[in-house]
Structure 1
């Protein structure tokens, strides 16, 4: 199958490799790029004690830029969403990692089961912007104290029409992978996508969650599949079924 991946360059390249190993023709279309706020992350670590939470591997990549200044914090309890984020944290040197397989709400539930990990201190959430509200809402509902520090921001990218024609009209795309609500909004908001609906008449839109699928235009709902859990393994399983 011909599959378009709408992830940022770093994570998208990893997904492209996975798809190629599955026998698909994978094409990368980044619609956002991260800007890391390394100084803010460093100050947040210095000004807090106890556990850290991350819901994206991009936060771990921000921490990697701290170099030797990160060393005193590698023993802190780290709560992470997903095995990819957990692995990047382990590769960076974190030694006390707990992982949630679901999304932000599931991570909040996991943390509530380990209150001793907080050590009486607010949880430090190293977040990105924009982000889904589920994790912070879950912490609030569970009455878990936390402080949020934005350590990276995703800036939108508008691809040239020549790139979009190559991906969608020179040859049909069988599937488009959508990993965030903001990315889905950017994709369907592109003038090329709005003005060339016939190019997507047979394309499947594979969404990591229901919140992401909400950004798919109503006329394309019948072409949309939603992963039953918000992780890439479940998302890519649609391509195996096909």
Structure 2
């Protein structure tokens, strides 16, 4: 299958290698790039907090830019949204990692079980834009927290001729969508060609991502049984 990978470039390369090993042809179309703000992360870490929370490996990459200045915080409890983010945190040197099941809502439920031990707010190191599900879950569970936006995911501009060549020369069979924002951007780019992409599969990380897909393509949606890359690739 020709499979469009919409993830940012660093993550896309790893996904492309996995696709090749599975016998598929990856088509790289990064829709966003990360702008890191390590100075904001450092300032946030210096404030009072009981533990850390990250819902993306991108936030961990920002923390890694601090180098030795991160060392005083590596023993703190870090809540990671899923196994991939937890692995990134482990590689960055964090030693006390608690991993959620893969979604922001599930991570909030996990943290709620520890909140009674907090003597300061949870520090959520976030990106922009992001899904509100994690923060909504924290509020629902009365978990005190502060959010620090330590990176921005900015859209990459492509002209229509390039998009057409990527998607239709020859036609792609599937597109991997890991976030609501990437789903929105892909559908915007693909809108002029949707009739020619009538059979393309929209392979989504979660129900939350799938909500963005236009109604006429709902029959083409596949949703991972568990919200991680293994779950996504198992659908191909």
Q: Which band: TM-score by shorter chain?
A: over 0.9
TM-score of the superposed pair, with normalisation by structure 1: 0.93
**In 1, Cα distance between equivalents of 2:197 and 2:39:** 43
TM-score of the superposed pair, with normalisation by structure 2: 0.95
| 5+ residue gaps, structure 2 | none
Q: Counterpart in 1 of 2:209? A: 212
**In 2, Cα distance between equivalents of 1:8 and 1:48:** 32
Q: Is the 8 A contact 2:31 2:155 kept in 1?
A: yes
The partner residue of 2:218 within 221, 225, 231 is: 221
SS of residue paired to 1:4: strand
| 1:141 equivalent in alignment to 2:135 | no
Structure 1 residue 25, shift from structure 2 partner: 0.7
Q: Counterpart in 1 of 2:60? A: 60
**In 1, Cα distance between equivalents of 2:213 and 2:116:** 42
Structure 1 residue 117, shift from structure 2 partner: 5.5
Q: Counterpart in 1 of 2:90? A: 90
SS of residue paired to 1:3: strand
Structure 1 residue 48, shift from structure 2 partner: 2.3
**In 1, Cα distance between equivalents of 2:135 and 2:193:** 38
| 1:187 equivalent in alignment to 2:186 | yes
Q: Counterpart in 1 of 2:194? A: 197
Q: Is the 8 A contact 1:77 1:117 kept in 2?
A: no
| 1:8 equivalent in alignment to 2:8 | yes
Structure 1 residue 11, shift from structure 2 partner: 1.1
| 5+ residue gaps, structure 1 | none
| 1:230 equivalent in alignment to 2:227 | yes
Task: Output the aligned Cα RMSD.
Answer: 1.3
SS of residue paired to 1:143: coil
Q: Counterpart in 1 of 2:107? A: 107
Q: Is the 8 A contact 2:83 2:102 kept in 1?
A: no
Q: Is the 8 A contact 1:125 1:147 kept in 2?
A: yes
> Which runs of at least 4 in structure 1 moved beyond 6 Å after TM superposition?
none
Cα distance change of structure 1 residues 117 and 54 upon mapping to structure 2, 3 Å threshold? farther
